[in-house]
Structure formats: structure tokens, C-alpha cells
Amino acid sequence: QKEVEQNSGPLSVPEGAIASLNCTYSDRGSQSFFWYRQYSGKSPELIMSIYSNGDKEDGRFTAQLNKASQYVSLLIRDSQPSDSATYLCAVRVGGYQKVTFGTGTKLQVIP
């Protein structure tokens, strides 16, 4: 079982719709969770971090964490063509600085 799993996609959504990206992780000791966006040919850039159960909102982005079910998700409201990118989920186990990434989900927002 992979430590961090994501559906590779592509996930296609129409402009203005909600995009839902999911990530599951295997280590119950995981305590820090991050979502990154990566455009083709560029390095990953941080969108959001989340550390406790529940929802965290930042503009059009909402991260959701459910530690009991070991999943973290990212919702993008009012999706724009500029949101088309690969979204990477990353997880850090508590008390340990190693950060493990999923393979990423490619999102395509269709105008």
C-alpha cells in the first residue's frame, strides 16, 4: 500500500464548477497535510496546509481532513481555466520531518 494515494486523473470539470480532489494516506500517525499545485514545467507551490479535523477555507479553496477515515480532500469552487494543473497531496508523520507526496491528480478546467 502506498503511503499517500491520489487518483492520477485527468479530472475534467467545466469552468465555474466545483473540482473535488481526494487523497488517502496509510500512516495513522500523520499530523500535517499539504496541498500543492504544480503547473507543467514549474515547481510545486503551496495552496493550503491543514493540521486538524474539519474544513479549512482560503478563498476559492477548501481543504477537508478526516483522520478517522485517513483522507484529505481539496475543493476548488468556481473553477477557472487557470486552475488547470497537477495537484499534489503531501503528508508528514507527527514528530518526524519526512514529507511524502502522492503522485498527483491532473485537473483540467474546460472553458
Partner 1 sequence: DVKVTQSSRYLVKRTGEKVFLECVQDMDHENMFWYRQDPGLGLRLIYFSYDVKMKEKGDIPEGYSVSREKKERFSLILESASTNQTSMYLCASSGSNSPLHFGNGTRLTVT
Residues in touch with partner 1 (CB under 8 A): 8, 31-32, 34, 42-46, 49, 88, 90, 92, 97-104
End-to-end CA distance of the chain: 37
Of 34, 21, 8, 28, nearest in space to 101 by CA: 34
- Indicate the residue among 70 and 100 with the shorter CB distance to partner 1: 100
- Indicate the residue among 17 and 22 with the shorter CB distance to partner 1: 22
User: Minimal distance in Å, beta carbon 58 to partner 1?
Assistant: 13
In angstroms, the Cα distances linking 100 to 59, 60, 61, 92, 93 are: 26, 25, 22, 6, 9
3-class secondary structure, 81: helix
- Indicate the residue among 2 and 15 with the shorter CB distance to partner 1: 2
- Indicate the residue among 75 and 93 with the shorter CB distance to partner 1: 93
Cβ–Cβ under 8 Å, residues 109 and 79: yes
User: Minimal distance in Å, beta carbon 19 to partner 1?
Assistant: 19
